[in-house]
């Protein structure tokens, strides 16, 4: 490992200079770094997602995009046309000599642990795309490494920064839906096969993070079913069903597929008073609240055999701030680095999602439900 030319004290000095208000509700202009220099960021991975991450860092006043790293020279050349003036490299370890404060890692999931660990050890704050790692042991190791080196570790759970998901969570937490029975999520598309990943590790992290966030907790039990249809050796799961049991008898059912004719990204939450549908594919009406439910109790007509009857009310579409979730997330990361604030989706938040995915793997192997629990030793 090369010795860094920007040892920890440099970043510490900046942290002191950049001290930001931790209040998240402040108007954006008051939360910017003012005349101080922005957080210097490198993005590792210039594939499908990395350039989006790079764009948001480049466009925000809180951060400066300094360098892009990728093994693929063609992708780097494309990225540099988009970001002229930004340095490019095929070797991410050269970032250690560029007086950066932080990196964002947008490489395939099975590379996250090794790259993030090396960067943390070199004193760089890390935003790691989802999933944080591909095992609980590796996710814990990243949390411990970040702690040992006094660096921020943020999981790239973009949907937890989506105003639509925040609104759904608010409705659940403030009991606007009444008593919540279940959450049902569907995320399907065709293709986008990634080496070392599958529908479980590529798509499901989004829905598990949304379910954990909306329910403000982690499931106690996971049951998974999967189907493997494409690929030469049929070891890659194209289709995965997850059944998650949260405390308080709340259920989350998740279906993810990379072999589906339609691109669907919906989350439905059903309560005893209202129901809400979040449709991420919709541009203007991402959240619809249905004043609908089932009336229980004695039937109005004694000839009715069912003790429940349908209740139909109005459908409402709440206003949502037109904010790009990724931009909110990367801005938050830069502010956490500058202001020494713990990211909202910190390493522990990332670990909680990995725990569910790992339990799902065990459930697929055993064919039955798997108990999980966040062990208290993990540091936040």
Least separation, in Å, of the C-beta of 189 and ligand NAD?
11
Tokens of 68: 């892009």
Q: How far apart are CA 330 and CA 308, in angstroms?
A: 47
> Least Å distance between CB 349 and ligand NAD?
13
Residue placing its CB nearer to ligand NAD in the complex, 73 or 291: 73
Q: Least separation, in Å, of the C-beta of 72 and ligand NAD?
A: 4
Q: Toward ligand NAD, which CB reaches closer, 89 or 340?
A: 89
Least Cα distance to 137 among 113, 115, 106 occurs for 113
Closest separation in Å from C-beta 329 to ligand NAD: 8
Cβ 364 to ligand NAD shortest distance, Å:
20
| CA distances to 20, 27, 95, 136, 285 from 278, in Å | 33, 26, 39, 29, 9
Contact 207, 267 (CB under 8 A): yes
**Minimum CB distance to ligand NAD, residue 101 (Å):** 19
Nearest residue (CB) to ligand NAD, 48 versus 308: 48
User: Please, what is the minimum distance in Å from the beta carbon of residue 205 to ligand NAD?
Assistant: 7
Distances (CA, A) of 137 to 43, 113, 134, 362: 25, 10, 9, 15
H-helix segments, the chain: 8-18, 28-31, 50-59, 73-82, 112-121, 136-148, 163-173, 204-215, 325-339, 347-366
Please tell me whether residue 129 adopts helix, strand or coil conformation.
Answer: strand
Residue 211 or 289: the one with the smaller Cβ distance to ligand NAD is 211
The terminus-to-terminus CA distance of the chain in angstroms comes to 27
Q: Which of 276, 279, 247 is nearest to 262 (CA)?
A: 279
Least spacing, CB of residue 263 vs ligand NAD, in Å? 13
Q: Which is nearer to ligand NAD, 132 or 177 (CB)?
A: 132
- CA gap 105, 45 in Å, rounded: 6
**Closer CB to ligand NAD, 45 or 293, in the complex:** 45
Helix axes 112-121, 136-148, angle to 10 degrees: 10
Cβ closest to ligand NAD, residue 69 vs residue 153: 69
User: Are the C-beta atoms of residues 171 and 179 closer than 8 Å to each other?
Assistant: no
Question: Residue 145: which region, alpha, beta or left (left: phi > 0; alpha: psi -120 to 50)?
Answer: alpha
The residue among 49 and 96 lying less far from ligand NAD, judged by its C-beta, is: 49
Residue nearest to ligand NAD (CB): 47
**231: alpha, beta or left, given left = phi > 0 and alpha = psi -120 to 50?**
left
Instruction: Name the residues that contact ligand NAD, by CB under 6 A.
Output: 44-50, 69-72, 75, 92, 106-109, 111, 115, 129-130, 156, 158, 194, 202
Nearer to ligand NAD, 50 or 123 (CB): 50
Choose among 326, 340, 375, 285: nearest CA to 53.
Answer: 326
Query: What is the three-class DSSP state of 36?
Result: coil
CB of residue 78 to ligand NAD, shortest distance in Å: 10
């Amino acid at each position: 490992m090369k010795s860094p030319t920007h040892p920890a004290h440099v970043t510490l000095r900046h942290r002191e200079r950049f001290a930001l208000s931790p209040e998240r509700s402040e108007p954006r202009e008051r939360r910017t770094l003012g005349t101080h220099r922005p957080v210097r960021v490198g993005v590792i991975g210039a594939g499908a997602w990395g350039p989006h991450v790079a764009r948001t860092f480049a466009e925000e006043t809180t951060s400066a995009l300094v360098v892009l790293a990728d093994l693929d020279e063609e992708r780097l050349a494309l990225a540099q046309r988009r970001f002229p003036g930004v340095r490019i490299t095929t070797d991410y370890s050269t970032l250690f000599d560029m007086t950066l404060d932080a990196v964002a890692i947008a490489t395939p999931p099975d590379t996250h642990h090794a790259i993030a660990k090396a960067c943390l050890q070199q004193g760089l704050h890390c935003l790691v795309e989802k999933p944080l790692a591909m095992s609980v042991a590796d996710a814990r190791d990243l949390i411990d490494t970040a702690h040992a080196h006094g660096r921020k570790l943020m999981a790239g759970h973009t949907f937890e920064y989506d105003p639509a998901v925040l609104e759904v969570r608010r409705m659940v937490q403030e009991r606007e839906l009444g008593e919540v029975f279940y959450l049902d999520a569907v995320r399907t598309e065709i293709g986008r096969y990634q080496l070392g990943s599958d529908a479980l590790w590529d798509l499901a992290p989004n829905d598990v993070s949304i379910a954990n966030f909306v329910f403000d907790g982690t499931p106690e039990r996971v049951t998974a079913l999967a189907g493997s249809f494409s690929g030469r050796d049929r070891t890659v799961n194209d289709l995965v069903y997850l059944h998650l049991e949260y405390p308080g008898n709340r259920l989350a059912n998740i279906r993810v597929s990379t072999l589906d004719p339609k691109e669907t990204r919906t989350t439905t939450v059903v309560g005893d008073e209202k129901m809400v549908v979040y449709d991420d594919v919709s541009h203007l009406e991402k959240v619809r609240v249905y004043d609908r439910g089932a009336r229980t109790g004695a039937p109005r007509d004694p000839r009715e055999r069912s003790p429940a009857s349908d209740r139909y009310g109005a459908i409402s579409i709440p206003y949502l701030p037109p904010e790009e979730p990724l931009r909110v997330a990367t801005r938050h990361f830069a502010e956490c680095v500058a202001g020494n604030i713990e990211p909202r989706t910190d390493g522990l938040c990332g670990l909680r999602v990995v725990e569910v995915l790992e339990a799902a793997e065990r459930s697929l192997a055993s064919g039955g439900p798997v108990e999980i629990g966040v062990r208290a030793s993990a540091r936040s």
